[in-house]
């Protein structure tokens, strides 16, 4: 997010180059773009955000142009009038949009809508698409502002949109309509795609000349961030986890927030997150559960790609590269694993198809390949195909247990956990506040938790506040709460606790600073 925030700051300087966020499904691309939208909307500055998600449903191109344009105009007028968008960011109809534009005397928006509606009425498809796509850049010039155009899952434009109402003629090259617009200095683009191979192919064919700067989004957090994520999700879903079980969850999921959330959302009747053994049994179930989130996320990639390649050799290649996922393998090594049964050209063709399906990746050269560095995916691959190919069934639970038997690694992670508790002050405080929120009690020993105040004048001023807080219950707890006031920069509050009764309401605000490592924070 810091990289993108710095990039957005370059937009008013007209030096921001359009970008593409690349990463598999559930790695947080949409959340990043939506958060960026909210930050820019709340800042109410010179950069106006526009966010549009391309859906994987068939649609006539003229209908798509209508939705795209109204979504843009809704977000533009929402920004100008400070009117909150409808639920799910549904666009307003033209009657409402015209009413809003008239209310602020925005003739540029009114004229723009009039021209676009004329294209719709006459079913001028090409003109409507060109007009809709160019609207941010046009209004940027007329309004003396800048836009950030965010298109989520742009690769779906090549598959689900049709030139004709009967949906027979696919508009497979529609993203090419952005070819020139993507170089705009007043309305640069941020696009995303969940199928990296598909996205790269599309950019190579339709955004030639490096018009989009590729930005990879990793699905993995750092171990410290992973620990925090386990605790945050556990608090959100009101699940009790111990330090040991949080440690195990974080390690087995490789600090992947989607895997962490999916595991904690398990519907298995015997799920257990209170012990190491319980976590292993629950994850074992979820890996093999054909209706679960973990399997469902990867099955879409696996089945579509295997169907396209459609043979035993593709499965052998997948298993081989996944087993050796920590290193690159040459085509020669892969061919030898297949006992030379595939000609070089056929082998390369299958490898390219698997890469396009995001099941393997290119190595340091076109001659080298490697498996996806993902332990959960490896278990899913093998649970699906190992018995078919090698006539043995993997013991998922035993392998998960074995991965936890690395004492040195466990000790280092325990050290990281202790270090986390010393540095992640928001996490420590929010968990403590939530503990008493669930009990419905005031915070125990509230006064004693503060270090002595040496300044007597300050202490006397704080006396009533401390007394009130020690007797009050807090019903709502937020971390990293954004407070927006008119004509001011958005203020981020580290931890906010609120409570109320029939007569009044109260709030406790924590602004946290780094502390001396020799004197870490404590709940005592």
Q: Is-contact 154 56, C-beta < 8 A?
A: no
- State the DSSP code for 305: H
Q: How far is CA 137 from each of CA 42, 48, 67, 149, 186, rounded to the nearest angstrom?
A: 21, 11, 18, 9, 6
369 forms beta bridges with: 329, 362
The residue ranges of DSSP E strands in 95-204, in sequence order, are 146-152, 161-162, 189-193
Give 311-367 pLDDT, tens digit per residue. Answer: 788 889 988 998 898 899 999 999 999 999 889 998 998 898 888 888 888 888 889
Q: What is the pLDDT of residue 391?
A: 87
Sign of the Cα torsion 76, 80, 82, 83 reads negative
CA distance 234 to 242: 10
Q: How many C-beta neighbours within 10 Å does residue 290 have?
A: 9
- pLDDT-derived band at 520, boundaries 50, 70, 90: very low
Q: How confident is the model at residue 74 (pLDDT cuts 50, 70, 90)?
A: very high
Span 72-101, average pLDDT? 94
Token representation of residue 150: 């965010």
pLDDT (0 to 100) of residue 424: 67
Quote the CA–CA distance of 35 and 261 in Å, as a whole number.
Answer: 19
* Angle CA 144–149–154, to nearest 5: 160
Q: Write down the pLDDT at residue 163.
A: 94
Q: Mean pLDDT across the stretch 163-184?
A: 91
Task: Round to whole Å and give the CA distance between 510 and 187.
Answer: 38
> Mean pLDDT, to the nearest integer, of 292-312?
77
Does residue 372 contact residue 361 with C-beta atoms inside 8 Å?
A: yes
Neighbours of 15 (CB within 10 A): 11
pLDDT at 135 over 50: yes
Contact 151, 109 (CB under 8 A): no
More confident residue, 93 or 435: 93
Residue 515: band (very low, low, confident or very high) from pLDDT cuts 50, 70, 90 = low
Higher per-residue pLDDT: 52 or 29: 52
Q: What is the pLDDT of residues 251-270, one digit of tens each?
A: 899 999 999 999 999 999 99
The H or E element spanning position 315 is helix 312-323
pLDDT of residue 521: 46
- From residue 89, alpha-carbon distances to 73, 86, 92, 297, 405 in Å are 12, 5, 9, 25, 48
> With 70 as the cut, is the pLDDT of residue 509 above it?
yes
**Is residue 522 predicted with pLDDT exceeding 80?**
no
Where is average pLDDT lowest: 8-12, 102-106, 111-115, 239-243? 239-243
Instruction: Say whether 261 sits in a helix, a strand or coil.
Output: helix
pLDDT tens, position by position, 374-433: 888 889 888 888 888 888 888 888 888 888 776 455 556 666 566 665 556 777 788 888
Whether 524 has a pLDDT exceeding 50, the answer reads: no
Q: What structural domains and CATH numbers belong to the chain? A: 2-216 (3.40.50.300), 223-293+401-419 (no CATH), 296-393 (1.10.10.10), 442-510 (no CATH)
pTM here is 0.74
């Amino acid at each position: 997010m810091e990289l993108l925030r710095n990039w957005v700051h370059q937009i008013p300087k007209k030096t921001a180059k359009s970008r593409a966020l690349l990463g598999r499904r559930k790695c947080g691309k949409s959340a990043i773009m939506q958060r960026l939208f909210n930050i820019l909307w709340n800042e109410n500055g010179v950069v106006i955000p526009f966010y549009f998600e391309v859906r994987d449903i068939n649609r006539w191109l003229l209908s798509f142009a209508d939705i795209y344009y109204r979504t843009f105009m809704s977000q533009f007028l929402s920004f100008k009038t400070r009117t909150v968008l409808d639920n799910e960011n549904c666009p307003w109809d033209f009657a409402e949009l015209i009413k809003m534009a008239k209310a602020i005397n925005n003739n540029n928006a009114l004229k723009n809508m009039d021209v676009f509606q004329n294209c719709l009425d006459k079913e001028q498809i090409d003109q409507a698409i060109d007009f809709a796509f160019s609207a941010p850049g046009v209004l940027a010039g007329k309004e003396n502002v800048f836009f950030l155009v965010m298109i989520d899952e742009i690769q779906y434009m090549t598959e689900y949109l049709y030139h004709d109402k009967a949906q027979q003629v696919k508009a497979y090259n529609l993203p090419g309509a952005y070819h020139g617009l993507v170089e705009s200095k007043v309305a640069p683009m941020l696009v995303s795609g969940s199928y990296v191979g598909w996205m790269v192919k599309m950019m190579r064919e339709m955004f030639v000349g490096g018009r989009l700067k590729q930005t990879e989004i990793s699905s993995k957090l750092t171990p410290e961030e992973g620990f925090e994520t386990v605790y945050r999700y556990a608090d959100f879903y009101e699940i009790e986890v111990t330090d040991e079980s949080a440690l195990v969850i974080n390690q087995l999921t490789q600090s992947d927030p989607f895997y962490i959330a999916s595991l904690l959302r398990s519907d298995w009747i015997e799920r257990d997150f209170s012990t190491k053994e319980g976590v292993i049994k629950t994850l074992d179930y979820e890996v093999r559960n054909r209706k679960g989130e973990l399997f469902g996320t990867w099955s879409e990639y696996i089945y579509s790609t295997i169907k396209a390649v459609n043979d035993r050799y593709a499965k052998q290649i997948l298993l081989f590269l996944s087993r050796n996922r920590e290193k690159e393998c040459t085509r020669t090594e892969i061919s030898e694993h297949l006992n030379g049964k595939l000609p070089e050209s056929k082998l390369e063709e299958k490898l390219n198809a698997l890469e396009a399906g995001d099941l393997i990746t290119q190595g340091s050269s076109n001659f080298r390949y490697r498996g996806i560095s993902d332990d959960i995916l490896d278990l899913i691959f093998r649970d699906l195909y190992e018995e078919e190919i090698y006539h043995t069934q993997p013991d998922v639970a035993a392998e998960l247990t074995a991965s936890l038997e690395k004492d040195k690694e466990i000790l280092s992670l325990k050290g990281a956990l202790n270090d986390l508790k010393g540095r992640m002050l928001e996490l420590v405080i929010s968990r403590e506040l939530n503990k008493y929120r669930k009990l419905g009690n005031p915070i125990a020993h509230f006064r004693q938790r503060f270090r002595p105040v040496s300044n007597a004048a300050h202490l006397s001023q704080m006396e009533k506040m401390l007394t009130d807080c020690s007797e009050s219950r807090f019903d709502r707890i937020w971390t990293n709460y954004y407070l927006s006031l008119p004509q001011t920069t958005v203020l981020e509050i580290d931890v906010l606790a609120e409570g109320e009764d029939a007569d009044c309401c109260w709030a406790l605000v924590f602004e946290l600073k780094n502390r001396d490592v020799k004197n870490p924070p404590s709940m005592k």
